[in-house]
């Protein structure tokens, strides 16, 4: 019954989405404004029903209902409950249902909590959100039904891949999806505003918290994913320019640009068309990234394509939504009046530079990711990877970091070059000193990008705090703190990347138990190797003692794990975190004469990469809370004033 | 199940986490697969090259960070050739001849890739063109 109820909830939700779209369209276009009153309740009901459907699918997984095909193919009755739960979205159909649920719930939230938007734009936005949801409901119901039954029921399930039985599975994919799909709200706002021709500062202020929210979750999702790949893959890499990673990076780049342009629109009522365009692009990148990769077109190496019917369906959806939004943009952009032009030396110009550079990086990542596809069509297989992206996007990213120092120190409207230079003095001097020190110590020994990265990271570190200089810190608005902390996070992260790339020490050895290995100031004593067993794996575990500079030895246990079903070997790296870096030890294969391959890395300051990512998200959260609180306070004061007057 | 791993890897935004067991060859590993060259300068040269060579049996990984046996064989090949004094670009050319352009992450200077190298300039140029009209120039009020 549960599966049938879930499917019914999904059908009902889809019908309500159709109703929501129809009510909004007829209400707005036909001038029947009495219909518009029903749009919000319908949106809330639709969101509620998707949540019910998703909760029912989770229930089926928790109960291990082996008459449901999806549970049979992706779960097992003996699995710990956390992985039964997280396994719900560890497959195509379940993750599509998560996508639709997030979209429905986000729409319900817009219906319930959005107060700043004008009524017509609000209704058009909800209509837009329903229109996008409809396509994905169709995809779910006609091509990826998660509630399909099998008859007779299976004895037990085939299990979730043991590799993914990591607490990360419970946190990382939902966070990323909330971010991806959260951007659909910005997309719907843009469509709604284009339809009602109301693109102005008030619109930007209404859209900003939704963009910020999605961006914070994307940032957290990407940071967590990078760390997961780092510790799970066992080679010490944290970013591979893999199409999958690029797929998550592209929406983030667009959302970051949007975040800054929406501030220009909110503050100065400028960049109207551009901001609307970015809102369309950001969610389009979510769709393109997720679905192009997922449809199996991008990485033709692996035969993981969903079946061709689904691929075609996805492409059609992409074409309809992105093409439709762009057509609407082209049709209505003439009606969107541009704001006043800028002075050359102004905060606005610096934010436009930010947008320009972010868009160029986004364009390059998109082109670089799709290019192999293009050449393959001409019968020529090429690879575009880290060497291209590092060399091309790296310098532009560094230029962006420099703009990040200048922007917050420049005034809105108009500033004087001399004043700006004066404010920049401290970061410039710090950058210069770091440059000279590094040049004296390590010239020619570290690559040019890590070298510049370190210089710019320290300059940005100082420059990011400079906006607080000579301010009363207790009266500084929370959103200014948010900006400072997010920018500081970029500097911290960049410093981590540069240190990892410039200072990592690698040691590959074949050692016998009893041997001692010395590297980068660490002494590792290889004590013994033992077979051990877990719930559904067996492993060879090395017991080692690591000590540095004659300090207290610490026990570490790198493992090589074997899973029987499916037959898989994984390495469980041993990570030893110190304030100034991480020791990363991997147990490899058995070599000749009783020796074992060991891979040992000392990675100075590598953890700064993810700590910086966390700071960026924290800064976003502070900005979100700061802006919202200010809005509440202003409203509260206005009400008090009205009451006092009455 | 491989499809599941791949799908999940997609969803997680991370490369596939492991190699299936059959990729681990039963043959003894190549001598320099996981053994560094004694001379650090040569090892650095080899390492730099390995980071730009694609592991052909993996999903988007270089041979420098893959567990696949094929990656190990290629690492060993690269190190042995570097020790014999071969130049990295010569080794790359040999690999390309053997496996096609696809094996090298370093885009070559072939005409089919010219648009890729021109892309940053074109995009920056377009951006600046768009920007030009937006900024007041030389006007003082």
**Domains and their CATH numbers in chain B:** 28-125 (1.10.8.640)
> Which residues does residue A602 pair with via DSSP β-bridges, in sequence order?
A505, A583
pLDDT tens-place string over residues A517-553: 988 889 999 999 999 987 777 899 999 999 998 788 9
End-to-end CA distance of chain A: 58
| Biggest CA pair distance of chain A | 93
* Closest chain B C-alpha to A501 CA, distance in angstroms: 12
Shortest CA distance from B131: residue in chain A: A352
Determine the Cα–Cα distance for residues A128 and A106; give it in Å rounded to an integer.
12
Alpha helices in A295-346 (DSSP H): 308-332
pLDDT of A442 higher than 90: no
Residue B81: alpha-carbon gap to chain centroid: 19
Nearest to A623 by CA among A110, A204, A212: A212
Of A167-171, A207-211, A325-329, A403-407, the poorest mean pLDDT is in A167-171
| Contact in structure between A69 and A147 (CB atoms under 8 Å) | no
Contact assignment for B136 to A341 by CB distance below 8 Å: yes
- Residue A340 is predicted with a pLDDT of 67
* Closest chain B C-alpha to A160 CA, distance in angstroms: 8
pLDDT of A263 higher than 70: yes
- Residue A600 is predicted with a pLDDT of 92
- Residues of B whose CB is below 8 A from A294: 7, 10
pLDDT of B19 higher than 70: no
| Contact in structure between A182 and A106 (CB atoms under 8 Å) | yes
> How high does pLDDT run on average in chain A?
88
pLDDT of B111 higher than 50: yes
At B109, is the secondary structure helix, strand, or coil?
coil
| DSSP code for B28 | P
- Residue B18 is predicted with a pLDDT of 39
Q: Which of B2, B3, B4, B66 to mutate to test the interface with A (most CBs of A within 10 A)?
A: B4
Determine the Cα–Cα distance for residues A242 and A225; give it in Å rounded to an integer.
12
pLDDT tens-place string over residues A151-206: 888 887 777 776 677 777 888 888 998 999 889 999 999 999 998 888 888 899 99
B134 touches chain A (CB under 8 A): yes
B90 touches chain A (CB under 8 A): no
Determine the Cα–Cα distance for residues A632 and B43; give it in Å rounded to an integer.
61
As a residue count, chain A comes to 646
Size of interface A-B (CB pairs under 8 A): 218
Contact assignment for A240 to B12 by CB distance below 8 Å: no
pLDDT of A430 higher than 60: yes
ipTM attached to this prediction: 0.77
Give percent of chain A with pLDDT exceeding 90: 45
* Closest chain A C-alpha to B107 CA, distance in angstroms: 6
Rounded average pLDDT over A246-268:
93
Rounded average pLDDT over A105-117:
91
Nearest to A558 by CA among A537, A528, A591: A528
Nearest CB among A240, A396, A570 relative to B18 is that of A570
pLDDT of B27 higher than 70: no
pLDDT tens-place string over residues A232-246: 878 888 888 888 888
Cβ of A637: how many Cβ atoms within 10 Å?
Answer: 10
| Contact in structure between A351 and A264 (CB atoms under 8 Å) | yes
- Residue A500 is predicted with a pLDDT of 93
The confidence band for A620, taking pLDDT boundaries of 50, 70 and 90, is: very high
- Residues of A whose CB is below 8 A from B3: 303-304
Residue A511: half-sphere exposure toward Cβ, Cα within 13 Å = 25
- Residue A11 is predicted with a pLDDT of 96
Per the listing, tokens 């961006």 go with A215
Residue A384: alpha-carbon gap to chain centroid: 22
The confidence band for A277, taking pLDDT boundaries of 50, 70 and 90, is: very high
């Amino acid at each position: 019954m549960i599966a049938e109820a879930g499917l019914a909830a999904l059908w009902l939700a889809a019908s309500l989405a159709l109703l929501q779209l129809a009510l909004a369209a007829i209400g707005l276009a036909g001038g029947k404004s009495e219909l518009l009153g029903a749009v919000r309740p319908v949106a809330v009901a639709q969101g509620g029903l998707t949540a019910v459907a998703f909760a029912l699918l989770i229930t089926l997984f928790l109960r291990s209902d082996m008459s449901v095909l999806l549970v049979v193919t992706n779960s097992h009755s003996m699995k710990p409950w956390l992985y039964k739960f997280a396994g719900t979205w560890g497959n195509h159909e379940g993750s599509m249902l998560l996508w639709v649920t997030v979209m429905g719930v986000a729409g319900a939230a817009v219906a319930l909590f959005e107060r700043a938007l004008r009524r017509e734009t609000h209704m058009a936005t909800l209509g837009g959100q329903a229109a996008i949801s409809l396509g994905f409901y169709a995809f779910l119901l006609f091509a990826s039904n998660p509630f399909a039954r099998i008859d007779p029921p299976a004895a037990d399930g085939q299990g979730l891949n043991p590799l993914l039985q990591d607490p990360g599975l419970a946190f990382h994919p939902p966070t990323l999806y909330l971010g991806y799909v959260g951007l659909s709200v910005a997309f719907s706002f843009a469509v709604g505003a284009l339809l009602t021709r109301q693109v102005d500062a008030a619109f930007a202020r209404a859209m900003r918290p939704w963009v910020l929210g999605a961006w914070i979750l994307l940032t957290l999702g990407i940071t967590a994913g990078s760390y997961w790949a780092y510790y799970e893959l066992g080679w010490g890499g944290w970013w591979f320019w893999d199409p999958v990673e690029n797929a998550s990076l592209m929406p983030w780049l667009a959302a970051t640009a949007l975040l800054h342009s929406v501030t220009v629109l909110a503050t100065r009522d400028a960049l109207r068309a551009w901001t609307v365009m970015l809102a369309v692009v950001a969610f389009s990148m979510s769709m393109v990234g997720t679905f192009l990769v997922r449809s199996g077109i991008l990485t033709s190496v692996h035969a993981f394509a969903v079946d061709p019917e689904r691929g075609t369906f996805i492409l059609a959806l992409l074409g309809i939504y992105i093409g439709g939004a762009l057509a609407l943009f082209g049709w209505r952009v003439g009606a969107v009046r541009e704001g006043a032009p800028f002075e050359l030396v102004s905060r606005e110009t610096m934010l436009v530079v930010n947008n320009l550079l972010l868009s160029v990086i986004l364009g390059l990542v998109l082109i670089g990711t799709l290019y192999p596809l293009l050449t393959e069509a001409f019968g020529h297989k090429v690879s575009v990877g880290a060497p291209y992206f590092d060399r091309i996007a790296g310098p532009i990213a560094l230029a962006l970091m420099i703009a990040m120092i200048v922007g917050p120190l420049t005034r809105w409207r108009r500033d004087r070059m001399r004043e700006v230079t004066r404010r920049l003095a401290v970061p410039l001097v710090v950058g210069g000193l770091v440059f000279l020190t590094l040049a004296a110590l390590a010239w020619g020994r570290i690559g040019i990008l890590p070298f510049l990265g370190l210089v710019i990271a320290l300059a940005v570190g100082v420059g990011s705090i400079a906006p607080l200089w000579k301010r009363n810190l207790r009266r500084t608005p929370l959103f200014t703190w948010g900006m400072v902390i997010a920018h500081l996070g970029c500097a911290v992260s960049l410093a981590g990347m540069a240190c990892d790339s410039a200072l990592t020490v690698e040691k590959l050895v074949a050692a016998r138990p009893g041997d001692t290995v010395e590297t980068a100031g660490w002494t590792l004593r290889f004590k013994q190797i033992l077979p051990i067993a877990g719930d559904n794996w067996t492993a060879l575990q090395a017991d080692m003692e690591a000590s540095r500079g004659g300090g207290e030895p610490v026990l570490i246990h790198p493992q090589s794990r074997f899973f029987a079903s499916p037959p898989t070997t994984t390495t469980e790296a041993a990570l030893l975190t110190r304030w100034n870096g991480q020791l990363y030890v991997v147990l490899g294969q058995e070599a000749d004469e009783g020796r074992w391959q060991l891979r040992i890395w000392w990675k100075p300051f590598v953890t700064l990469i993810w700590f910086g990512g966390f700071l960026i998200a924290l800064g976003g959260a502070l900005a979100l809370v700061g802006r919202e609180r200010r809005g509440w306070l202003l409203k509260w004061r206005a009400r008090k004033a009205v009451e006092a007057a009455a | 199940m491989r499809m599941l791993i791949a799908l999940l890897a997609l969803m997680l935004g991370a490369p596939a986490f492991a190699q299936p067991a059959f990729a681990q060859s039963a043959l003894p590993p190549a001598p320099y697969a996981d053994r560094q060259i004694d001379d650090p300068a040569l090892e650095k040269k080899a390492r730099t090259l390995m980071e730009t060579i694609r592991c052909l049996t993996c999903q988007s990984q270089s041979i420098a960070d893959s567990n696949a046996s094929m990656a190990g064989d290629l690492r060993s090949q690269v190190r042995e050739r570097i020790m014999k004094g071969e130049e990295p670009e010569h080794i790359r050319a040999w690999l390309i001849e053997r496996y096609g352009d696809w094996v090298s992450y370093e885009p070559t200077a072939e005409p089919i890739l010219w648009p890729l190298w021109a892309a940053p300039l074109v995009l920056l140029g377009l951006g600046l063109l768009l920007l030009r009209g937006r900024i007041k120039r030389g006007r003082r009020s």
